[in-house]
Structure 1
Amino acid sequence: MSWVSKTFNSTLGKKLVMSLTGLFLILFLVVHLGGNLQLLLPDEGQAFNIYSDNMGTNLLIRVISIGNFAFILLHVIYSIILTRLNKKSRPVAYALSKPQNNITWSSRNMGILGTLILIFLLVHLRAFWYEFKFGEIPTAVYDGVTYKNVFAIVSEAYSNILYVAFYVISMGFLGFHLSHGFASAFQTLGLNHIKYSPLIHKVGIGFSIIIPALFAMIPLVMYIKTL
């Protein structure tokens, strides 16, 4: 067995994969948010439709998208493996250790939070990605060029208060997940220092609040506009 196989089959190697895929997905969230915020522009969806068309036709972006799905899958698989390894190594809970005094609620429930986020992701992909690829989407014409009017599909989805509520609650789960995962990823990579770790922790907390809040704001604003 090569050193590469030994490394990634070890517990540390699995945590390394979790950290690297997690950091990539954090970067993806920022890019995805930038694109989605165009939904709020007062242009009847023109900017978002052009952006969506570029996302679907640009070869580099398509390759990155495939990589993104692969990283999500790896992140999920390795999280399941690590959770089982942790339970196997500690089959009996430490009843007297009072873990709530040592670690945060989010760190104790990363598995549950990750599962809830995965459920949201599957529903979200079915509602949008699947429709974009295989559904019948109306078109819009800008400067003589015809685009898929994905803005209309998104607007219709966000006119449903149940879906908006589901989305907003899911962003809350994402926030809790990020509040632990952000700093944990840096720590696993060995990027922790008595001087910089507190800053990384604060940045992580800010990120876990701001990014999910902005994502949640989008469907809320679009729903309010339908009232």
Structure 2
Amino acid sequence: MKTSSIQYKLIMAGTGLFLCFFLVIHLLGNLQLLLPAAEAKEQFNWYSHLLAGNLFIKIVSWVLLLSIIAHAVYALIITRKSNKANGTKYAYDKRGASSTWNSRNMGLLGTVILVFLVIHLKDFWYVSDFTTMNLDKQGNKDMYSVVVLTFHEWWYVLIYEISFIALGFHLLHGFFSAARTLGIYHPKYVNLVRYTGWVYTAFITGGFMLIPIYLYFNN
């Protein structure tokens, strides 16, 4: 039982770190949306076309999808095992005195993120791959216009902002949890791990939150 729990946590850590790496790449690509409109449209559409037509990227995207599914499934397994081992209802325990809010609410945060992913994939990935789209002057699918129109609605921007806040809390706890699982949360490196986790979380969360707000007020 103990061995299987360790294996589950290692899978969680591995898939989580892969998703963390993907978020960096995804954010760097999306930051093109902050360029002046004409330049952003040309570059972002070219970037989207490059991703859609690259076999390696296609393979990575499927690995990404499998990683998301595995991460969610094993999170549920670990949570159920933990609750069963505790033998008491979570609402009546005393963990609040020694744990952070995000560590006690990873299930809620994960649910918000999963709902967000469904919305995000439907509005962008599905539209790009399974619908007929307008083309820009270079003959690329005009994903830029789709993104701009999507973030033209204040309530849609609000959904994204709330989702990215949930992502930030989730990342912060997940980063430290993965470090412990992999054995690198050592007293010698604890300050470095904490600093890296906070900087990474601030960069990812802040970057993704900036884009919808910028597009809403500038387009």
TM range (shorter): over 0.9
User: Paired residue for 1:168?
Assistant: 161
Give the secondary structure class of the aligned counterpart of 1:141. Answer: coil
Measure how far apart 1:135 and its partner are: 1.9
C-alpha distance in 1 between matches for 2:42 and 2:115: 30
C-alpha distance in 2 between matches for 1:187 and 1:140: 48
1:123 is the counterpart of 2:116: no
User: Paired residue for 1:50?
Assistant: 46
User: Paired residue for 1:38?
Assistant: 32
User: Paired residue for 2:134?
Assistant: 138
1:62 is the counterpart of 2:58: yes
Give the secondary structure class of the aligned counterpart of 1:140. Answer: coil
Higher relative contact order (CA 8 A, sep 6+): 2
Q: Structure 1, residues 86-128: CA drift from partner, whole Å, max 9, x if none? A: 1111121488863222110101111110111000000111111
The aligned length equals 217
* One-letter code aligned to 1:63: I
Which of 196, 208, 212 is equivalent to 1:219? 212
Identity within the alignment, %:
41
Decide whether the 8 Å contact of 1:39 with 1:45 is kept in 2. Answer: yes
Structure-1-length-normalised TM-score:
0.91
Q: Structure 1, residues 24-61: CA drift from partner, whole Å, max 9, x if none? A: 00000000000111111111511000000010011111
1:85 is the counterpart of 2:78: no
Quick check: which one's helix share is greater? Answer: 2
Decide whether the 8 Å contact of 1:137 with 1:153 is kept in 2. Answer: no
1:14 is the counterpart of 2:8: yes
User: What is the root-mean-square deviation in Å for CA atoms of aligned residues?
Assistant: 1.7
1:158 is the counterpart of 2:151: yes
User: Paired residue for 1:187?
Assistant: 180
C-alpha distance in 2 between matches for 1:183 and 1:83: 17
Q: Where does structure 1 lack aligned partners over 5 or more consecutive residues? A: 1-5
* One-letter code aligned to 1:222: L
More displaced 10-residue stretch of structure 1: 191-200 or 150-159: 191-200
